Chains A and B, each alone.
Chain A
Amino acid sequence: MIAIDIQQPLAHFTLEVSCSLKAPVTAVVGASGSGKTSLLEAIAGLREATRGRITIDDAVLLDSDRGFSLPPEKRRVGYVPQEIALFPHLRARDNILFARRDHDRLMSLAQMLELVPLLDRYPSSLSGGERQRVALARALMAQPRVLLLDEPLAAIDQPLRERILVHLRRIRDQERLPMIYVTHQPFEALALATYCIVLREGRVIGQGRPDDVLRDPQIGATTDVDNVFEVSDPHHDRENGITRVKTSDGGTLVLPFDLVADATFPLVVRISGEEIVVFGKRPESVSSRNVLEGVVSDVRVYEGRADVTITAPMPVRVRLTRSAVEELQIAPGRRVWLALRSRSFRLIG
């Protein structure tokens, strides 16, 4: 468990964060300048003026009341900053081996993060996503107690080929390492995190399950209803322009062939809940390539609109007007059919 209770004076406000993080991945969501990066730097020990207390399990990293602050090199905190900061004078291999010269571990990390062909390259010749993966491997080599990631998708130009989220999921599942993931994009939080903190001007304005926190209108972190799926096992049908894929929840989706033809699977796709059509009866002759049958599991009604979760069998979130909810008698337990246009899917990495 990571327990944080700190105050950090910043230029325009004081960062004040108090939280206990037990989840495998915690997302820290907030607009630019809300103090997200400062929070990560305080945990990593890169901010001298931090007051308060930080502990990871039994290890005390900071206890300013007792005048104790562990230096960054003793904190065992893996930090991948937004600018990535690979050492430009070292090849990818030596960047990764910086913390420890363990060649067996190097090879296992390189395989997990698909870095084997890149090991002898210098950072200047790597793409944004490749650098990000090298930086992840470099941080993991140091055997950290926690991995701090600052906007890992920000430096990525071509999400199609980079699949950073897929790699981060691998790290989460294979390394069993707690992660704190800073982002200003709520859908990234949904794709990876099981716990979420929302920061505004240095203060925590909400924390809890990402689904609940991010959609809470009081917190106002996002008004989007994004659906994020990790998909694999593609079956391409070039002639008809479609590719069938499996979701990690056991569902099937149809994506446009040209969107994913060059992609390496698994990858993460997103569709907005505003672009999904709900039918009260099984529709016939629809142009949407994805018609899913499901059962309404949750309905949240806000002013004039409702956000509905449907199990189909993966959870799909849809935004409807209240008028539509009433006409279709949408309520938990109601059987419905969903139409998802394959062209409405976006790749996010």
Chain B
Amino acid sequence: MSEVGLLLVSLKIAAGSTVLIVLPALALAAWSWRRSGWWRAIVDSIAMLPLILPPTAVGFVLLVLLGRRSVIGGMLERIGATILFTQTAAVIAAAVMSFPLMFVMFRAAIDSTDPRYFQIARTLGASPLRAFMRVTLPLAWRGIVAGVILAYCRAIGEFGATAMIAGNIPGRTQTLALAIYQRVEAGREDDARILVVYVVLLALTSLIASEVLIGRHRKKTA
């Protein structure tokens, strides 16, 4: 498969996974922001677990959850849908693996806003949701955008969990990360090098964009 094709598959899977987790990550970060104590510590830790677990362990859990013998897998089979070893599986793997990064970034961005604005918005008649959407979120937007970019980068680089549940099918589930592995395995190091350049350029541009945004956010909230 051509490099451009690989790039497109990777971008598509990463985009799908990022879109999938934006709202849940935001909702969880907002919930966490308003809580303290044990519940917050437990829920936050679970949300961040994929960040420190071996990706293969996460992949294995997903494999079990989505497999035919599981409740979810069984239900999907009854309606004739298969997920394992499709692009959907690659999207799910990337989503689960990049979720913690997005969540941590969102929470830091929301934490950096002054809770006083949220309180004042409520005394002006805004419900907690409205106060959050109209005041806290706009004040945190740079950090939020940076979180989306970083999660997107993480999704592009995702390898372990994707290999476990989506396989490495050229044209369908083979991403840049998987293709590099495959080419090196096959002794095609020159081909792999081109892909590495692609990935580095892609990640670097995204990271610089994100750093610039976070830097401005810091300045603004200082």
What's the nearest-Cβ distance from chain A to residue B206, in Å?
25
| Closest beta carbon of chain B to A28's beta carbon, Å | 18
Whole-angstrom distance between the alpha carbons of A142 and B124 in the complex? 6
Contacts of A73 in B (CB 8 A): 122-128, 131
A74 to B131, CA, bound (A): 13
Give the chain A neighbours of B128 by CB distance below 8 A: 73
- Of A46, A83, A139, which contacts B124 at CB under 8 A? A139
Among B117, B119, B131, B139, chain A packs the most CB atoms within 10 A around the CB of B119
Bound complex: CA of A72 vs CA of B118, how far in Å?
11
Q: Mark A63-75, 1 if CB is under 8 A from B, else 0.
A: 0000000011111
Which residues from A are CB-within-8-Å of B121?
87, 98
In the complex, whether A12 has a CB less than 8 A from a CB of chain B is no
**In the complex, A128→B114 CA distance in Å?**
19
Contacts of A100 in B (CB 8 A): 125
Which residue on chain B has the smallest CB distance to residue A88? B139
> Is B126 a contact of A83 with CB atoms below 8 Å?
no
Interface size of B in residues (CB-CB distance below 8 Å): 18
A98 and B123 contacting across the interface, CB-CB below 8 Å: no
Q: Beta-carbon contacts of A256-274 to B below 8 Å, as 1s and 0s?
A: 0000000000000000000
Cα separation A41 to B121 with both chains bound (whole Å): 14
Contact with B along A41-83 (1 / 0, CB 8 A): 0001110000000000000000000000001111111110101
Contacts A83-B116, A85-B116, A85-B117 hold; do A72 and B135 have CB atoms under 8 A apart? no
Known contacts A85-B116, A87-B135; decide if A71 and B125 are in contact (CB<8 Å). no
Set of chain B residues within 8 Å of A88, measured between Cβ atoms: 117, 139
Measured in the bound complex, the distance between the Cα atoms of B119 and A138 in whole Å is: 14
**Chain B 71-115, CB within 8 Å of chain A: the 1/0 string?**
000000000000000000000000000000000000000000010
- Give 1 or 0 for each of A175-186: 1 = CB within 8 Å of chain B CB: 000000000000
Q: Which residues of A contact B125 (CB under 8 A)?
A: 73-74, 76, 99-100, 142
Assess whether A45 is in contact with B123, with CB atoms less than 8 Å apart: yes
Closest CB-CB distance, B41 to chain A, in whole Å?
19
Tell me the bound Cα distance from A95 to B135 in angstroms.
Answer: 10
CB interface residues, A 129-152, toward B, < 8 Å? 138-139, 141-142
Contact B117 A87 (CB under 8 A): yes
Cβ–Cβ contact A138 & B123, under 8 A: no
Shortest CB-to-CB span from A122 to chain B, Å, is 12
Which chain A residues lie closer than 8 Å to B127 at the CB level? 73
Which residues on A sit within 8 Å (CB–CB) of B114?
Answer: 85
Contact A72 B123 (CB under 8 A): yes
When the two chains form the complex, which single residue of A45, A46, A78, A98 contacts B134, counting CB atoms closer than 8 Å? A98
Bound state CA distance, A57 and B138, in angstroms? 37
**B120 adjacent to chain A (CB < 8 Å):** yes
Residues of B within 8 A of A79 (CB): 120, 123
Q: Which residues on A sit within 8 Å (CB–CB) of B135?
A: 87
Assuming A87-B135, A98-B134, is B122 touching A72 (CB within 8 A)? yes
Tell me the bound Cα distance from A46 to B123 in angstroms. 8
Q: Check A89–B116 contact: CB distance below 8 A.
A: no
Q: Shortest distance in angstroms between B106's beta carbon and chain A's nearest beta carbon?
A: 18
| A191 CA to B120 CA, complexed, in Å | 27
Cβ contacts under 8 Å, B123 to chain A: 44-46, 72-73, 75, 77-79, 139, 142
Residue of B nearest to A83 (CB): B116
Contact of A71 among B120, B122, B138, B139 (CB under 8 A): B122
Within 8 A of B (CB), among A107-145: 138-139, 141-142
- In the bound assembly, the distance between CA atoms of A74 and B186 in angstroms comes to 67
- Give the residues from 119 to 172 in chain B that come closer than 8 angstroms, CB to CB, to chain A: 119-128, 131, 134-135, 138-139
Chain B contacts for A141, CB-based, 8 A? 124
- Distance of A83 Cα from B120 Cα, bound (Å): 11
A74, closest chain B residue (CB)? B125
Complex: A79 Cα to B116 Cα, angstroms: 11
Name A303-340 residues within 8 Å CB distance of B. Answer: none
Q: B140 to nearest A CB, angstroms? A: 10
Q: Is the CB of A89 within 8 A of B139?
A: yes
Which residues of B8-29 have CB atoms within 8 Å of chain A's CB atoms?
none
Residue from B122, B125, B139 whose CB has the most chain A CB atoms within 10 Å: B125
Residues on the A chain within 8 Å of B122, using CB: 45-46, 71-73
Determine whether the beta carbon of A72 is less than 8 Å from that of B119.
yes
Docked-complex contact A81 and B139, CB < 8 angstroms: no
Q: Contact check, A89 vs B124: say whether CB atoms are below 8 A apart.
A: no
Q: Chain B nearest CB: distance from A284 CB in Å? A: 58
17 CB < 8 A contacts A-B = A46-B123, A73-B122, A73-B124, A73-B128, A77-B123, A78-B123, A81-B116, A85-B114, A85-B117, A87-B135, A88-B139, A89-B138, A98-B134, A99-B125, A139-B123, A141-B124, A142-B124
> Which residues of B approach A to under 8 Å, CB–CB?
114, 116-117, 119-128, 131, 134-135, 138-139
A-B residue pairs, 4 tightest by C-beta: A72-B122, A99-B124, A79-B123, A85-B120
With A73-B125, A85-B114 known, 15 other A-B pairs at CB within 8 A are A44-B123, A45-B123, A46-B122, A72-B122, A73-B124, A73-B127, A74-B125, A75-B123, A81-B116, A85-B120, A87-B120, A88-B117, A99-B124, A99-B126, A142-B123
